[in-house]
């Protein structure tokens, strides 16, 4: 294990790594008090070398690493890549490519939903990963031997896991399944939250168009403020507060005192003034210009028998394909399919549509049935008489 603290040493490793088929990658970072993650370590390993890069050393330039990440002849291997890739997109503006995520690939070839790194290593190699240093202050220097051993283990075991899972994907002829999932991971736009799209992250719903307009504006205001001040969005304002503001729409200082989400006196703050300006703008929107709220289409109830049949189908398909049910379709996917043949859900796209979605629509319209056999539940064609 080598600790890299200079640009020249980093360039030497990256140039060497370009001679290999793949390089495994992991990061350690902090994000508890900031909007943007603080990169503390980068671990990388080829077949013959494993290194830890210290990006917090004064003067080190990570450009050689970002150049390696764009070398299309070398696969960049991660496990649960999203947060790592988000960091690299923020620092370099691009995702590592080509990219392979062992957690994603494992999910479609029989390892279950969102398998953890230590569980994957144990199943494939029999090794036990010490995760006792998982929650530690990675920005503190010097790092302990225990921290360094933990960090490097996240890329050394990953080499064997990658080879095993890649071969299993090939054996099961599921390269296209994995590729479809990885395409989304390599899309840099998925890691850049535009303030105007921030409302999409909120789970709570509103029922009136003007409330919806307020929620969208307030979520955008919070996101922009969090990004500008580099603080977690929840520190600017909780989701519950945005939801309450959207419905109550206060336009006076005293009105804030009647809201549960705000302490007394908040209405006199500069933030409250900004919020009231937003609310006043929303109140001035012409009724015809308010954003439309998507209504559920008329159709069978998601709580009815059709939904029950689709859940049985999902279980049967899951057992047949050796893939966890949640990977194929979520409960929300099934509810949406019951309501709308053209629902914009993963279960009606790509490989999921091939193995489940088409059958689900056929069952919904009485063209396919389910039969109990000695081998389990199987779909059967239905010959309906006029």
12 and 114 part of one domain? yes
pTM for the structure as a whole: 0.87
The predicted-structure confidence for 128-168, as pLDDT tens digits, reads as follows: 888 877 888 999 999 999 999 999 999 999 999 999 999 99
DSSP of 84-153 = HHHHHHHHHSS--SSEEEHHHHHHTTTS-TT--HHHHHHHHH------TTSSS-TTSSSPPHHHHHHHHH
The domain tally of the chain equals 3
The predicted model gives 307-333 an average pLDDT of 91
The span from the CA of 311 to the CA of 325, in Å, is 9
- Give a yes or no: residue 297 inside a domain: no
Q: Domain limits at 360?
A: 305-381
DSSP of 348-379 = GSHHHIIIIIHHHHHHHTTSEEEEEETTEEEE
CATH of the domain at 256: 1.10.150.80
The predicted model gives 86-91 an average pLDDT of 96
The predicted model gives 346-374 an average pLDDT of 92
- Give a yes or no: residue 147 inside a domain: yes
- Give a yes or no: residue 298 inside a domain: no
Per-residue pLDDT at 342: 94
- Residue 386 binned pLDDT confidence (cut-offs 50, 70, 90): very low
pLDDT tops 90 at residue 229: yes
- Residue 298 binned pLDDT confidence (cut-offs 50, 70, 90): low
- Give a yes or no: residue 300 inside a domain: no
95 and 108 part of one domain? yes
178 and 266 part of one domain? no
pLDDT tops 60 at residue 297: no
- Residue 381 binned pLDDT confidence (cut-offs 50, 70, 90): confident
CATH of the domain at 349: 1.10.150
CATH of the domain at 11: 3.30.420.10
Per-residue pLDDT at 300: 62
């Amino acid at each position: 294990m080598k600790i890299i603290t200079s640009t020249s040493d980093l360039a030497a490793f990256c140039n060497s790594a370009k001679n290999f088929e793949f390089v495994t990658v992991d990061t350690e970072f902090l994000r508890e008090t900031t909007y943007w993650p603080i990169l503390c370590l980068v671990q990388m390993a080829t077949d013959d070398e494993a290194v830890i890069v210290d990006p917090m050393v004064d003067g080190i330039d990570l450009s050689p690493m970002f150049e390696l990440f764009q070398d299309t002849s070398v696969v960049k291997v991660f496990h649960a890549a999203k947060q790592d890739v988000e960091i690299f997109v923020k620092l370099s503006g691009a995702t590592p490519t080509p990219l392979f995520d062992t957690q994603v690939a494992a999910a479609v070839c029989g390892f279950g939903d969102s398998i953890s790194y230590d569980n994957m290593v144990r199943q494939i190699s029999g090794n036990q990963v010490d995760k006792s240093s998982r929650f530690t202050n990675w920005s503190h220097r010097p790092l302990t031997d225990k921290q360094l051993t933990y960090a490097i283990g996240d890329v050394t075991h990953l080499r064997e896991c990658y080879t095993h899972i890649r071969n299993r994907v090939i054996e099961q002829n599921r390269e296209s399944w994995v590729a479809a999932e990885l395409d989304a991971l390599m899309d840099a736009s998925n890691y850049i939250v535009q303030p105007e799209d921030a409302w999409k992250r909120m789970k709570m719903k509103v029922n009136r168009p003007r409330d919806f307009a307020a929620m969208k504006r307030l979520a955008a205001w919070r996101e922009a403020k969090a990004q500008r001040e580099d603080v977690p969005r929840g520190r600017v304002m909780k989701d519950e507060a945005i939801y309450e503001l959207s419905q109550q729409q206060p336009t006076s200082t005293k009105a804030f005192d009647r809201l549960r989400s705000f302490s007394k006196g908040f209405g006199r703050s500069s933030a409250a003034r900004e919020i009231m300006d937003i609310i006043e703008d929303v109140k001035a929107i012409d009724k015809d210009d308010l954003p439309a709220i998507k209504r559920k289409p008329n159709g069978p109830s998601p709580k009815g028998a059709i939904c029950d049949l689709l859940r049985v189908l999902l279980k049967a398909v899951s057992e047949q394909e050796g893939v966890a049910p949640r990977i194929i379709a979520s409960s929300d996917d099934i509810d949406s399919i019951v309501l709308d043949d053209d629902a914009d859900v993963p279960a009606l796209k790509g490989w999921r549509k091939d193995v489940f979605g088409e059958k689900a629509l056929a069952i919904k319209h009485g063209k396919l049935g389910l039969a109990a056999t000695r081998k389990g539940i199987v779909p059967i064609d239905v010959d309906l008489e006029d």
